[in-house]
Amino acid sequence: MLYQIHELQRSLLRPLVAMSDANARMLSGQDSWLSSLPGAQRLAAGWELLYRLGKEYEKPQFRIPAVTTHGHETPISEQVALAKPFCNLVRFKRFSDDPEHLAAMKKDPSVLVVAPLSGHHATLLRDTVRTLLQDHKVYITDWIDARMVPLEQGEFRLDDYVAYIQDFIRHIGAEKLHVISVCQPTVPVLAAIALMAAAGEQTPLTMTMMGGPIDTRESPTKVNDLATTQPLSWFENNVIHAVPDNYPGAGRRVYPGFLQHAGFVAMNPSRHLMSHWDFYKNLLRGDLDDAESHRRFYDEYNAVLDMPAEYYLDTIRVVFKEHALPLGTWKVAGEPVRPAAIRTTALMTIEGELDDISGLGQTAAAHALCTGIPKAAHRHMEIKGAGHYGIFSGRRWREKVYPEVRDFIRTYDRSEG
């Protein structure tokens, strides 16, 4: 019933949200005579803050119209390379009319960015993708909101996630591919590649793992503590709900996005409160650049998706409770996951010194599992002063992390166009 109550609340708030938006626009618009009234700016700021606190946040767009590649401004087009019920493999196609420029881009390495299915949309990795596009052909896993997937499409479990990654790797071509996994997907990506190696399949040239829970016994965080202190039945009884009738996925059991968002905010409530207060003050001062930065951040941060219940509960059990990957007890579709079977894929792990989601050592644990990879093909980075998001987005990503990732990929790349 909680999901239905949430939807009812949203419906009741819509008139107030719409009125708040309209009032804010009338009181701040340059072509509106109301904006010249005494106190109009203060009223406009209050109405906009109310609007943003109450509005519904839709899935953002990647908004990467162009990047600079090989010294040229290069247009970008998003294309669905492979569609599946719960995920689209999206390619960021680069275009050029210059034959020499086109030939140079064709020689760039191919990279599959595996985005987390853990609340936020894949657009959270916009900066990651935009930076990679300068020197690479880029694909990304664009996970679909579970409430939009009809019930007849069946369940989606952690095993299915692993199978999806394998299908995407095969579709692009493992012999020319480099895989980058960010946070949660480090676990299923390692499993997918290990299973392919054990089956004698070609595996990607490199795998780069960033801030992921390979072994959550290392430096446990608050996220880990919650998963380990509550029984699995607690999660099933308290956070799993059925999608209401007004969505295509009506009846599907999910971990709703609005509950996930509440959990995100609860981790740092004072920071979010101060951020909204600063936004209000920026509007009063006319500091429009900082106000716009706030809007962009929260347009992304507040846009969340529902996760399939089976996948979420599998992840809690396998990754956080049983530690099945590092202990060697995990089986996917009946097949044991043995990272030691990987021999021809170079491994790079990246961690943030101040990561409060995947603690130090959790990602680096992959090296001890991948004993089949030659020692010379192992690399690890710890980014000083970086939190979880700083290793794949922002200045530290662009200036410190990306150059190392780019060079690592180039070291093992065999692309010929």
The pLDDT tens digits of the residues spanning 163-176 come to 999 999 999 999 99
Could you tell me the pLDDT band of residue 356, with boundaries at 50, 70 and 90? Answer: confident
Q: What type of residue sits at position 110? A: S
SS3 label, residue 203: coil
Average pLDDT rounded to a whole number, residues 365-390: 96
Could you tell me the pLDDT band of residue 203, with boundaries at 50, 70 and 90? Answer: very high
Residue 412 has pLDDT above 80, yes or no: yes
Residue 119 has pLDDT above 70, yes or no: yes
Average pLDDT rounded to a whole number, residues 193-217: 97
The whole-angstrom distance between residue 272's C-alpha and the CA centroid of its chain comes to 20
> Percent of the chain scored above 90 by pLDDT?
68
Average pLDDT rounded to a whole number, residues 42-62: 88
Average pLDDT rounded to a whole number, residues 213-234: 88
Which residue intervals of the chain bear CATH 3.40.50.1820?
66-231+307-412
Average pLDDT rounded to a whole number, residues 317-325: 96
Task: Return the CATH number of the domain spanning residue range 66-231+307-412.
Answer: 3.40.50.1820
Q: What type of residue sits at position 54? A: G
Residue 416 has pLDDT above 70, yes or no: no
Per 3-state DSSP, the chain is made up of helix, strand and coil in percentages (nearest 5) of 50, 20, 30
Structure tokens that stand for 362 in this block: 């959790």
State the pTM of this model: 0.91
Q: Using alpha carbons only, how large is the chain's radius of gyration in Å? A: 23
pLDDT tens digits for 227-262? 888 999 999 999 999 999 999 999 999 999 888 878
Residue 9 has pLDDT above 90, yes or no: no
Q: Which pLDDT value is given to residue 417? A: 45
89 backbone dihedrals φ, ψ, rounded to 5°:
-85, 110
